[in-house]
Structure formats: structure tokens, C-alpha cells
Amino acid sequence: MKLLSAFRSSYLNRRGTTFRSLDPSSFDGGFIPKPSPSSIFWLAIHCLCCLISLILGFRFSHLVLFFLFSTSVTNLYTTTAGVSQLLKLKPLEKANVTAKSSRVVVGRHGIRIRPWPHPNPVEVMRAHQLLERVQKEQKSLYGVRSPRAVIAVTPTYVRTFQALHLTGVMHSLMLVPYDVVWIVVEAGGKSNETASFVGKSRLKTIHVGFDQKMPNTWEDRRRVESKMRIQGLRIVREEKLDGIVVFADDSNMHSMELFDEIQNVRWFGALSVGILAHSGNADELSSVLKMNQEGKPIQGPSCDSSGKLVGWHVFNTQPYATKTAVYVDDKAAVMPSKMEWSGFVLNSRLLWKEPVDDRPTWVKDVDNLLDGNEEIEDGPLSMVKDPSMVETLGSCGRNVLLWWLRVEARADSKFPPGWIIKSPLEITVPSKRTPWPDSSSKLPVVTKEAKYNQPATEKRSGKAKRIKEQEQ
């Protein structure tokens, strides 16, 4: 009985989850019922059980008694058992079950809960490492067998939107899971701004300058860009870079699947480019869209039902006939050329000087082009003798893997060099709400920050207080 009362008091002290970690072995060996006052004994147990179930509820009382009598095979507890039924603890006819020493017992079992259920951080890390390893294995099985390097050729020049565009391209290239060589050709010579981007990328980069300055009309710009890309290809030839050449224009948007898909190219591939010919004028756009219902804004290969390349899908410039931009900062929509460079990828071995064994015959010899003797007229398709042999990527152009966009700022827009504001801003206008004194020439920079910090911290502590109250 002493043991019982001790158990009861300790039990009352420790409610909740910690109860479940109660070690049943301390109550092992139970109660050997004395032969003569057994009925009184059982009555006492009965009262005790009633009390426990009154105080702690039916479920706990069951658990208590289960732990008490748990060493031997338990009888099954029927779900509607009153406490009195628990006392009829006859062992189940286990002649069949335990005859062959099975350790599996039929009946009610406790629900095992460990006392500190929170996940172990070391194990979580190990699980993530396992996930990574499995995914790496999956990639090597279902992805590309021997991934080739990606050589991205980007023509660029310094202007307001360069930071916007180059950051996008840089981040895309940094995420590519293969080796990347980034060739940046800059019109107007190498500059510090571009060099800072190129340096930030932590990729293998080749930054060269191009002697011409970027002209102000889209037509001329396209021509200069083509020349810059050829310059990039010249570098590939000189350095004998091995990989897949992608024309990553700085204002385009590339998806990650693009880089996975181009690994499938053998010599010269074409893919679909989504054309975003947006002028920034919403009314104009809606009227254009109404007119342009049938056409899709895509440039790329087009196949018949058997998957053979039969033609090229070109962007329909008809609706924009009167309203295209001529100058770089015009408000009208910018039109792409008939076949944009970015929709084509090629194997860098096509550009090497030494003849490669299995160079296809349907690609022209590019040495003339690269030596500057020829001019490339209408896009990269002129590098190919037989356009029908071009490989199609992205399930024959049905997947659009990159988007073409041309957005530039006004010609007279200025931007801080390197986008760092070196000198303090000259004009400050006090906001209507702050109780500042009239602004003096000495800028209250420090106090402004302090004023901002104060209300924020007050707010934060207020929130913390409220949460604490809620917890309790």
C-alpha cells in the first residue's frame, strides 16, 4: 500500500507527456495477492482504480494498470470495460500464440512516445545529405551522361539598365549545374561597371572590349551585336574552348531547363524563343493583342506530326507595323529580328580551326566568317548549308525555354556609377507626418536613423509582450 500511495502522489505530480516515460520496471513484480484477505485486497485495488480514473480520466487509468501488470501477457481490454472488469485479469488462452514463443502479443499496447520528441539537428542534417546523395544519383541516371561545359556569349554595353540585365544573366549562369565559361563582349571597350559584374559572378569569365560604340537605333544595334557575337566566337576558336555555345543576350531571361536541354545538342540546334514585344504602354498592348489572336509570340523550329523539322515559326510583326521603335529609347514596341541569335546553340568544336573528325557537312566552314571576310546577314541560319538538318530542341520547339525582351531606359537617364551613392543626396524633403524642425543644410542623417529605430523597437517589444501574455 505504501508503494501504491507513493506511486499515486508521484503520479499526480507529473502529468502530461512526461508520464509516458514512466519506467514500468519500477513497479515490476506487482502485487502478489495474499491468499486469505484477497477479497479485501481486490476491493482496495478497485477503490484505488476508481479514484485514479476519477481524477485522471479513463485513458490514464488504463495505462496505469497496464504498466502495473505489463510484464506478463496482458488480457485484452474491451473498449467499454468498466474498472471492475480490469480486475478479471485472466491471461488469455495463449496456448496457440505463445506455444511457439512468439513475441507478438494480441491486445492493447501502450503508445510509445519518447520524452523529447523534437528532431535531432544532427539527424536532420544527415537526412538532407541523404536526400542530396539520392538526387545526385538520380541526376546521373536520368540526366545527362557526360555533361559538357556551357559557353555563354553575351554582348553588352554600359547603360542604365545594364545592371538589371546583367544581374539576371549572371544569376542564371551561376545556377547552372555544369561548367560555365562566360564570354562578355563589351561595346565601347572594357569598363569598370561591367568588370564588376563579371568579377562578382565567380565563374570562369573572359571579358573583352569591342572597339565600336553601341549605336542608338535598334537596327544598327542589332548589326553591332552580331559583330560582337562573332568576336565571341573568335575567342572560342582561339582558346579552343570545348562545350556548347549559347548566345545569352543580357536582356533575355533563361530558364534552368534550357541549360539541361541544350546538353542534348550534337552540332547545331534550334529552340523556341518566347518574344515579349512589349512597349510599356498598356492600351497599345491590348489593342495589339486583339489583332494578333492567331499568331503566337514565338520564334523557333516548327515540326510536322512525325517530329521532322519542316519550317520556322517567326514572330508576326504585322500588327506593329506602324508603331515599332526605331531609337533605343522609343516608347513603342521593339521588334525582334527574323531569327534571333539566342534561339540557336552550337557545339564549339564547329568553330575550331583543326578539322574535327565527324564535323557535319551541312554546316558551312566558319573560318571565313570568323576571319572577318564575310558578313553575316540574317542570323545564324546562314552558317548552315542545309537548314533542314538543324537539330530541334525542347521537344521540337514545343517547350519555350527562354524569353526575348528588349527594354532600355531613356537616352538621357543617368545612374550612379556602380550604383553606389558616394556623396550624400542633395535635396531632402521632410515628410508630412514627422515632427521635424525645418530642414537645415546640415543633414540630420544620424538622428533620422535613430528616430526610425526607436518606434520600430517599441513596436517590437510591444509585440513580444503581447505574445508572452498569450502564451500564459
Partner 1 sequence: MKLRSWVLIFIACNLLTFSTISAFRLSRSQPTERISGSAGDVLDDNPVGRLKVFVYELPSKYNKKILQKDPRCLTHMFAAEIYMQRFLLSSPVRTLNPEEADWFYVPVYTTCDLTPNGLPLPFKSPRMMRSAIQLIASNWPYWNRTEGADHFFVVPHDFGACFHYQEEKAIGRGILPLLQRATLVQTFGQRNHVCLKQGSITVPPYAPPQKMQSHLIPGKTPRSIFVYFRGLFYDVGNDPEGGYYARGARAAVWENFKDNPLFDISTEHPTTYYEDMQRAIFCLCPLGWAPWSPRLVEAVIFGCIPVIIADDIVLPFADAIPWEDIGVFVDEKDVPYLDTILTSIPPEVILRKQRLLANPSMKQAMLFPQPAQPGDAFHQVLNGLARKLPHDRSVYLRPGEKLLNWTAGPVADLKPW
Which of the 8 DSSP states describes residue 154? E
**Grid cell of 384 as nine digits:** 548552315
Nearer to partner 1, 99 or 446 (CB): 99
For partner 1, the binding residues in 50-109 under the rule CB under 8 A are 58-59, 62, 76, 79, 92-93, 96-97, 100-104, 106-109
**Are 165 and 202 spatial neighbours (Cβ–Cβ below 8 Å)?**
no
Smallest gap, in angstroms, from Cβ of residue 177 to partner 1? Answer: 12
Q: What residues are paired with 186 via a beta bridge?
A: 156, 209
SS3 of residue 340 by DSSP: coil
Q: Are strands 400-405 and 344-347 parallel, antiparallel or unpaired?
A: unpaired
Total interface residues for partner 1 by CB under 8 A: 43
Nearer Cβ to partner 1 (176/370): 176
Give the residue among 364, 401, 394 at the shortest CA–CA distance from 381. Answer: 364
**Cα 191 from chain centroid?**
32
User: Distance (Å, rounded) from C-alpha 277 to C-alpha 280?
Assistant: 9
Of 120 and 472, the one with the shorter C-beta distance to partner 1 is 120
Q: Residues 263, 265, 268, CA angle at the centre, nearest 5°?
A: 140
Q: Counting contacts by CB under 8 A, is residue 114 touching partner 1?
A: yes
What are the grid coordinates assigned to 288, written together?
495589339
Can you tell me which of 121, 142, 423, 429 binds partner 1, judged by CB under 8 A?
A: 142
211 to 240, contacts with partner 1 by CB under 8 A? none
Q: Toward partner 1, which CB reaches closer, 100 or 468?
A: 100
Nearest CB to partner 1, comparing residues 2 and 59: 59
Do 271 and 401 touch, CB atoms closer than 8 A?
yes
Tell which one of 43, 54, 55, 127 touches partner 1 (CB under 8 A).
Answer: 127
Alpha helices by DSSP H, listed for 381-430, are 394-397
Nearest to partner 1 of 94, 338 (CB atom) = 94
What nine digits make up the cell of 322?
Answer: 506602324
For residue 400, the 8-state DSSP code is E
**Quick one: 187 or 396, whose CB is closer to partner 1?**
396
- Asked if 400 and 420 count as a contact pair (C-beta separation under 8 A), the reply is no
Q: Using CB under 8 A, which residues numbered 382 to 421 contact partner 1?
A: none
Q: Is 133 in the site for partner 1 (CB under 8 A)?
A: yes
Q: Pick the stretch among 27-35, 131-139, 245-253, 300-308 that binds partner 1 (CB under 8 A).
A: 131-139
Closest distance of CB 139 from partner 1, Å? 7
Contact flag: residue 146 with partner 1 (CB under 8 A)? no
Question: Which residues here bind partner 1, judged by CB under 8 A?
Answer: 58-59, 62, 76, 79, 92-93, 96-97, 100-104, 106-114, 117-120, 123-124, 126-127, 129-131, 133-135, 137-139, 141-143
